[in-house]
Structure 1
Amino acid sequence: MVVDGARDAAVTEHFANGSAPRELTRPLVDEAPVAIEINGIGYAVMMATPADLDDYALGFCLSEQLIVSAGEYLSSDSFEVPPVAGMAGGWMLRVALDAPAAGPLLDRARLRLAEGSCGLCGIESLEQVLRPLRAVSARLTVEKAAIFRAVSALGDHQVLGRATRAAHAAAFCAVDGTIVMVREDVGRHNAFDKLIGALAHAGIDPATGFVVLTARCSFELVQKAVIANVPVLATISAASTMAVDQAHLHGLTLYSLAREDSLLEV
């Protein structure tokens, strides 16, 4: 099976009923270090699925508040770096931003290995973690039935997730629950960044719909939604206390434990 963001691997399947194991090939989700270089400065190394990297680059820069609009994003170039002399390989993602808009780069540039694009890159103190954010200005009435409709339909849009059972998805939905766009990644934060970048590339205003994430709702995901001016966020798993507090503080309507037949408004 050829799926973007996955690689076939030989595995052995075992059975609880004592049947003989069988050898088969199934896709595994790609996970690789992605070194992000912005305007020639090494900014981060993230563990991510190396697919939709142009969307990821733009969404990452918006979430990091290195830029405030897609117009300040110039381009990105990505390429695989093979292993050399016993050193692990990975991917290089080189991003060009409009120079006057890239002021925060010098203050926050660094190179570190992180678990995912968590939205806290370059943060060194508690004060910076809770840096002031502009409240969500968008106001959108979304019926509960629309959220149920989106959650029910999401599986049909998760190509990588269905193939590997190991990828998160971030979906942008119209107000009636129609799924407009989906991006996937081994990391939930990366999937959201890819979606934010894809929306910006397509000229779609996040304020015109809502987002569904196949993840627990942590503070960083709420932060990304607030920065992107997403009015309503629904997550498949539960929310943390900090996520709920930050959503209330910044005017984000938040739902968690979103299922096909029930959800929590928190």
Structure 2
Amino acid sequence: MNDSLDTETHTTATVPVVRHRGQHATATTDRIAQEWPVAIVCNGISHAVMMCSPADLEAFALGFVLTEGIVERRSDVVDIEIVWHDGSAEVEVTLVQQAFGELKVKRRSLAGRSGCGVCGIESIELLDLEADRIASGTFLSTLDPQAVARAAAGLPDRQVLQKLTGGVHAAAWCDANGEILHVCEDVGRHNALDKLIGKIAFARQSTQDGFVFLSSRASYELIRKAARVDVPMIATISAPTSLAINIAKQAGIRLVAFARGDGFVEYAPA
């Protein structure tokens, strides 16, 4: 792995600001989240450019190719290397030949945004809004009723970049008791999820024996990504969209939202 620039120095920047309170103005500085264009290059061909926080980029690339359906399994990825530039990066992903051949057949162009999952798609017909049923195992039957509350209580202390900047999303991987095992942060909520899925894949852990907790709303692309890798449950701090609910029901994903304190709203029972 080669994430040598993935430090606080490169994920935040210090800028001059003027703070106003009442009739008083004070010149000072503020920490803001860095947002870089990151190109994902598969076997030498640029596939997507996303606006990201420049951290955990190897995990981001692996999660992206899995959740976008570019590859079906971790073993389809042979190698991942990062090429750093001034204010941007390229992540070179080497796929096995069969996976690369399939990618060339179905390849489409993407132009990423930090808050959009479909920018660059050429027509409505190319949207993938159908989800197969996930293979969820027995996780939901063993889930502690207080697990979501524990995850909601524990996440703020794990959001390092959010504490510094106030401007990033977090995606957490939690076990059946609500203990947070991994946290990834990014300016884009779907990037944070891709990083999380990639981190789980690098650790060769199952995506079927835990749940994702997101510090965002539940939008369709987040549920679609989770469905591709058999995540059985998603909990979010904010509201879901109608399409997110529909895809969760198609896939058999349990979707809960407004997870704050010891309560939540269940929109899609498994």
TM over 0.5: yes
CA distance in 2, matches of 1:166, 1:107: 38
CA distance in 1, matches of 2:197, 2:125: 26
- Which has the higher mean CA deviation after the structures are superposed, 223-232 or 3-12? 3-12
SS of the residue corresponding to residue 15 of structure 2 reads strand
SS of the residue corresponding to residue 113 of structure 1 reads coil
**TM alignment of 1:62-77, pairs within 5 A:** 62-77=66-81
1:86 corresponds in structure 2 to none
1:251 corresponds in structure 2 to 252
2:25 corresponds in structure 1 to 20
Unmatched 5+ residue regions in structure 1? Answer: 83-88
**TM alignment of 1:72-151, pairs within 5 A:** 72-82=76-86, 89-116=87-114, 120=118, 123-130=121-128, 132-138=130-136, 139-141=138-140, 142-151=143-152
Contact 1:54 1:77 in 2 (8 A): yes
Partner deviation per Cα, 1:15-60 (whole Å, 9 max, x = no partner):
3222231323x32111011111101111011111111011011100
Quick one: which of 10, 13, 17 aligns to 1:8? Answer: 13
Give the residue type in structure 2 aligned to 1:49: S
TM-score (norm 1): 0.90
SS of the residue corresponding to residue 166 of structure 1 reads coil
- Which has the higher mean CA deviation after the structures are superposed, 155-164 or 106-115? 106-115
SS of the residue corresponding to residue 14 of structure 2 reads strand
CA distance in 2, matches of 1:212, 1:7: 24
2:4 corresponds in structure 1 to none
Deviation at 1:162, TM superposition (A): 1.0
SS of the residue corresponding to residue 94 of structure 2 reads strand
CA distance in 1, matches of 2:97, 2:115: 23
TM-score (norm 2): 0.89
- The 1:121/1:135 distance shift into structure 2, 3 A limit, reads farther
Deviation at 1:8, TM superposition (A): 3.0
Unmatched 5+ residue regions in structure 2? Answer: 1-6
1:85 corresponds in structure 2 to none
- The 1:5/1:188 distance shift into structure 2, 3 A limit, reads farther
Quick one: which of 29, 33, 43 aligns to 2:47? Answer: 43
CA distance in 1, matches of 2:41, 2:95: 11
**TM alignment of 1:87-236, pairs within 5 A:** 89-116=87-114, 120=118, 123-130=121-128, 132-138=130-136, 139-141=138-140, 142-236=143-237
- The 1:189/1:91 distance shift into structure 2, 3 A limit, reads same
SS of the residue corresponding to residue 28 of structure 1 reads strand
- The 1:202/1:215 distance shift into structure 2, 3 A limit, reads same
Identity %: 37
What is the number of equivalent residue pairs in this alignment? Answer: 258
Deviation at 1:114, TM superposition (A): 1.7
CA distance in 2, matches of 1:96, 1:118: 26
- The 1:144/1:11 distance shift into structure 2, 3 A limit, reads farther
Deviation at 1:131, TM superposition (A): 5.2
Partner deviation per Cα, 1:156-200 (whole Å, 9 max, x = no partner):
111111111111110000100000001111100000000000000
C-alpha RMSD of the superposition? 2.0
Deviation at 1:103, TM superposition (A): 2.9
Determine if the alignment matches structure 1 residue 265 to structure 2 residue 266.
Answer: yes
SS of the residue corresponding to residue 155 of structure 2 reads helix
Partner deviation per Cα, 1:56-75 (whole Å, 9 max, x = no partner):
11100001111111111111
CA distance in 2, matches of 1:53, 1:66: 17
